[in-house]
């Protein structure tokens, strides 16, 4: 793949029967079982993190929260990125100037991304898996993928493969989020 690449992790044949598929308005949701999540995150090697298989009711709730919380999360992630870029070994006067420019840029980018999501979010297919953190909080990892333009033919892997990639097509068409079930809170990864 020019300017990027992909890393596909396919579920073992013994786990395929445990994958759940949900149909949303214009997209599909794929719920991966706990055994696959363990493989993805190395849960067996990570000590206190365990995995669980989210049920379809929980995923339907998470899916609604993605729509409700997406714009806030997008703004927060954009602000965080700009703050990291502005801070560093720059004089205070330069950081203050960058801060003003960042605020305007963040507002513009956030509005643009939010409007795009409101018009196009329904077309993003979704992949989900669940983990329980050491503090007991349940977290759902969410992969959002817009396959309307799929130059690499990856949609055929959607139902049994966790799709990862970088640069190029992935930059504009794939996002990863997390949903803290205990806090009912979406965040950008």
Condensed to tens digits (0 to 9), the pLDDT of residues 82-100 reads: 556 555 555 565 555 656 6
The mean of the pLDDT values for the chain is: 85
Cβ(46)–Cβ(124) below 8 Å: no
Query: How far apart, in whole angstroms, are the C-alpha atoms of residue 24 and residue 119?
Result: 15
What mean pLDDT comes out for the span 54-64? 97
Provide the pLDDT for residue 59. 98
Tokens found for residue 36: 């696959």
pTM of the model: 0.83
Burial class (CB in 10 A: 0-12, 13-18, 19+), 50: middle
Residue 9 β-bridge partners:
162
At 104 the pLDDT is: 62
Domain count, the chain: 1
How far is residue 163's CA from residue 127's CA, in Å, rounded to a whole number? 9
Residue 28 lies in a domain: yes
**What is the extent of the structural domain holding 122?**
5-184
> What was the pLDDT predicted at 1?
41
For helices 92-120 and 56-86, the axis angle rounded to 10 degrees is: 150
pLDDT at residue 16, rounded to an integer:
94
Q: Tell me whether residue 189 is in a domain.
A: no
Residue scoring higher pLDDT (184 or 44): 184
What pLDDT is attached to residue 21? Answer: 98
Kind and range of the H or E element at 144?
A: strand 138-145
Whether 69 maps to a domain, the answer reads: yes
Compute how many other C-beta atoms are within 10 angstroms of the C-beta atom of residue 92: 7
Domain membership of residue 59 (yes or no) is yes
Cα–chain center distance at 184 = 16
Tokens of 106: 């963040």
Q: Among residues of the chain, what percentage have pLDDT more than 90?
A: 58
User: Residue 48: inside a domain, yes or no?
Assistant: yes
Q: Read off the pLDDT band of 137 (50, 70, 90).
A: very high
The average pLDDT across 117-137 equals 95
> Which helix (H) or strand (E) segment is 127 a member of?
strand 125-132
Neighbours of 143 (CB within 10 A): 21
Tokens for 5, please give them: 């690449």
Residues 6+ apart with CB under 8 A from 86: 95, 98, 99, 102
Is 139 part of any domain? Answer: yes
How many Å separate Cα 80 from the centre of its chain?
16
């Amino acid at each position: 793949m020019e300017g990027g690449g992909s890393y596909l992790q396919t579920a073992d044949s013994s786990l395929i029967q445990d994958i759940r598929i949900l149909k949303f308005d214009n997209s599909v949701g794929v719920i991966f079982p706990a055994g696959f999540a363990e493989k993805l995150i190395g849960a067996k090697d990570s000590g206190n993190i365990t995995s669980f298989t989210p049920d379809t009711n929980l995923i339907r709730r998470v899916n609604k929260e993605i729509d409700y919380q997406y714009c806030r999360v997008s703004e927060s992630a954009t602000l965080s990125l700009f703050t990291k870029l502005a801070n560093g070994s720059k004089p205070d006067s330069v950081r203050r100037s960058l801060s003003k420019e960042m605020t305007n840029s963040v507002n513009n980018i956030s509005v643009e991304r939010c409007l795009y999501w409101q018009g196009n979010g329904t077309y993003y297919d979704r992949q989900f898996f669940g983990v329980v953190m050491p503090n007991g909080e349940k977290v759902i990892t969410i992969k959002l993928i817009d396959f309307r333009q799929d130059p690499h033919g990856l949609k055929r892997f959607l139902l049994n493969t966790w799709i990862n990639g970088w640069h190029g097509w992935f930059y504009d068409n794939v996002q990863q989020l997390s949903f803290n079930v205990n806090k009912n809170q979406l965040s950008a990864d």
